[in-house]
Chains A and B, each alone.
Chain A
Amino acid sequence: TQLLEQSPQFLSIQEGENLTVYCNSSSVFSSLQWYRQEPGEGPVLLVTVVTGGEVKKLKRLTFQFGDARKDSSLHITAAQPGDTGLYLCAGARSGSGNTGKLIFGQGTTLQVKP
């Protein structure tokens, strides 16, 4: 069982379409991160959100942290072929006894066709 569940697992869309990827959990997180990974490479950090309800924008990408800090979403506007890749969410659970180690979701594979 994944502590962080991402949906959908696979997404294939046409250039110019919008999409949203979700990262959900029943646990509370002190922060959530989103990474993008291209084939044959390691993940690269896109953003870190730390406050419940926080929204961050990175060009055509909008990241939101849920009010209760249990979920996050990534919205891409007017997707481009260069957005193709594996998107991973990662977070550290809050609360006593938790070590602060990052836990990763299983990833969402995005394919944007020209």
Chain B
Amino acid sequence: NAGVTQTPKFRILKIGQSMTLQCTQDMNHNYMYWYRQDPGMGLKLIYYSVGAGITDKGEVPNGYNVSRSTTEDFPLRLELAAPSQTSVYFCASSRTRDRGREKLFFGSGTQLSVL
């Protein structure tokens, strides 16, 4: 059972470079999310999607872009990487979205450093 798969696991970027964090899920979930986790700050929602072709901003969307061309895939694009984007990024999915009662399934994360 693969669940939510994220690649790469680790990445180091130089300031100004771009990259795409990949996320795919095999549970046929409509809802997908991108979070970033910084020490002592919990998880902050970057973007989310309620289905193929539909995305919306979360709490901290600046500097990021997403697309959702299929149910399975939800890549996160960083343009012009900045040191403030150094973080651990988690992709998650859920079958439903029910006022915070939905069960989120998380990937194992991408640790990104921007130097």
A residues touching B (Cβ–Cβ < 8 Å)?
A: 2, 4, 9, 29-33, 40-45, 48, 50, 88, 90-92, 94, 100-102, 104-107
From A30, A48, A106, B41 is in contact (CB under 8 Å) with A106
B residues touching A (Cβ–Cβ < 8 Å)?
A: 4, 35, 40-45, 48, 58-59, 90, 92, 97-101, 103-104, 106-109
Alpha-carbon distance between A60 and B35 when the two chains are bound, in angstroms: 30
Alpha-carbon distance between A107 and B88 when the two chains are bound, in angstroms: 15
From A2, A9, A30, A41, B100 is in contact (CB under 8 Å) with A30
Which B residues are CB-close (under 8 A) to A9?
Answer: 40
Alpha-carbon distance between A9 and B98 when the two chains are bound, in angstroms: 29
Q: What is the total of A-B residue contacts with beta carbons within 8 Å? A: 67
Minimum CB–CB distance from A43 to chain B (whole Å) comes to 5
Report yes or no: A105 in contact with B100, Cβ–Cβ below 8 A: no
Minimum CB–CB distance from B11 to chain A (whole Å) comes to 15
Report yes or no: B101 in contact with A31, Cβ–Cβ below 8 A: yes
- Contact A44/B106 with A31-B100, A90-B100 known, Cβ cut-off 8 Å: yes
Report yes or no: B109 in contact with A50, Cβ–Cβ below 8 A: no
- The contact sample of 5 A-B pairs, CB cut-off 8 A, is A33-B100, A42-B90, A45-B103, A92-B99, A104-B43
Minimum CB–CB distance from A62 to chain B (whole Å) comes to 20
Report yes or no: B100 in contact with A29, Cβ–Cβ below 8 A: yes
Report yes or no: B100 in contact with A91, Cβ–Cβ below 8 A: yes
Report yes or no: A102 in contact with B104, Cβ–Cβ below 8 A: yes
Residue of B4, B41, B99, B104 with highest tally of chain A CB at under 10 A: B99
Report yes or no: A42 in contact with B92, Cβ–Cβ below 8 A: yes
Alpha-carbon distance between A32 and B101 when the two chains are bound, in angstroms: 8
Report yes or no: B41 in contact with A100, Cβ–Cβ below 8 A: no
Which A residues are CB-close (under 8 A) to B41?
Answer: 2, 106
Minimum CB–CB distance from A28 to chain B (whole Å) comes to 12
Report yes or no: B103 in contact with A102, Cβ–Cβ below 8 A: no
